[in-house]
């Protein structure tokens, strides 16, 4: 297993904090969506991207981070989601659906069997479409980017998931890829996984719950790989990294898709159950 020491501190800057309002969207601080056993918080301050995932009423992730999609540009840095330190992304449209019916004026609480958010924005040369769906206790996230111009990037992150800092272990599809997650200095700020994998899973012992995220679709030329950043006391954060120190070609259009599902288990049995759930998510391709 390859582990890389993080040399730079990655901080989700919240310029103006909770006072920030995107250029479009409902006049609400947040929207809480509940579908079956899954609850998702959407935040206005992070431009209507996720802020927390819960399963059976218990948080699996922390609100102290950015989710969604973010680009890092040479000599500029991060733009997207809650990264407002350089410039906010420009939202173009937002559409909310519950049980296949569009909600013209969302409320702060939405409860339905199914939910769908369609979010379109512009980040410099890129047109970005994010779609989040919740159905059958699964969260499906899709990101599509288009550009007419060749654009150099340091990287683009999709599907950032800031799992709680209490998460104690992870596994992935990589052979032999399993690890106990610790808070000791020797593993603080390490990146784990650091390779292409079909899926990864993480265990949260306080709730006796686990989450499995499976990569369903991606453009080959983006060369995506998975990372799990161990930041004790803050989060165990998952990233799907693409276009690392590369130029996105003119005329590019590509789509990434990930599905996340959850389960409950004792610490002794969780890895077998997570592997079984990962296998069942293969059918969502």
Structural domain tally of the chain?
1
Q: How many helices (H) and strands (E) does the chain have?
A: 1, 24
d(CA 53, CA 67): 11
139 located within any domain? yes
Name the residue among 144, 141, 149, 150 with its Cα closest to residue 128. Answer: 144
Query: Which two three-digit tokens encode residue 151?
Result: 């654009």
Domain enclosing residue 126, as ranges: 11-164+215-259
Beta-carbon-side half-sphere exposure of residue 58 (alpha carbons within 13 Å): 15
- Beta-bridge mates of residue 140: 133, 259
210 located within any domain? no
CATH classification of the domain holding 91: 2.70.98
Q: Residue 221: helix, strand or coil by DSSP?
A: helix
Global pTM value:
0.92
List Cβ neighbours of 7 (8 Å cut-off, separation of 6 or more): none
pLDDT in tens, the chain (285 residues): 444 433 333 333 433 356 789 999 999 999 999 999 999 999 999 999 999 999 999 999 999 899 999 999 999 999 998 888 888 899 999 999 999 999 999 999 999 999 999 999 999 999 999 999 999 999 999 999 999 999 999 999 999 999 999 999 999 999 767 889 999 999 999 999 999 999 999 999 999 999 999 999 999 999 999 999 999 999 999 999 999 999 999 999 999 999 999 999 999 999 999 999 999 998 877
6 located within any domain? no
């Amino acid at each position: 297993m390859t582990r890389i020491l993080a040399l730079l501190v990655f901080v989700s800057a919240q310029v103006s904090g909770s006072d920030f309002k995107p250029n479009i969207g409902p006049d609400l601080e947040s929207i809480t969506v509940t579908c079956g056993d899954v609850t998702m918080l959407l935040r206005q301050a992070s431009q209507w991207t996720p802020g927390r995932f819960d399963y059976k009423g218990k948080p699996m992730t922390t609100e102290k981070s950015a989710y969604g999609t973010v680009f890092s540009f040479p000599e500029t840095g991060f733009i997207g989601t809650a990264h407002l330190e350089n410039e906010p992304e420009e939202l173009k449209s937002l559409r909310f659906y519950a049980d296949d019916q569009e909600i013209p004026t969302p409320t702060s609480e939405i409860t339905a069997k199914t939910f769908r958010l369609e979010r379109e924005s512009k980040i410099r040369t890129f047109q970005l479409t994010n779609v989040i769906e919740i159905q059958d206790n699964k969260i499906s996230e899709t990101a599509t980017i288009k550009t007419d111009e060749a654009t150099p990037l340091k990287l683009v992150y999709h599907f950032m998931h800031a799992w709680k800092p209490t998460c104690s272990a992870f596994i992935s599809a990589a052979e032999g890829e399993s690890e106990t997650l610790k808070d000791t200095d020797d593993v603080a700020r390490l990146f784990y996984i650091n390779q292409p994998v079909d899926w990864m899973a993480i265990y949260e012992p306080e709730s006796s719950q686990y989450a499995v995220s499976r990569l369903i679709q991606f453009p080959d030329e983006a060369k995506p790989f998975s990372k799990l950043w161990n930041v004790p006391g803050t989060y165990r954060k998952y990233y799907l990294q693409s276009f690392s120190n590369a130029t996105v070609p003119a005329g590019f259009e590509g789509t990434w898709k990930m599905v996340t599902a959850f389960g409950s288990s004792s610490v002794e049995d969780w890895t077998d159950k997570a592997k079984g759930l990962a296998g069942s998510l293969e059918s969502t391709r």
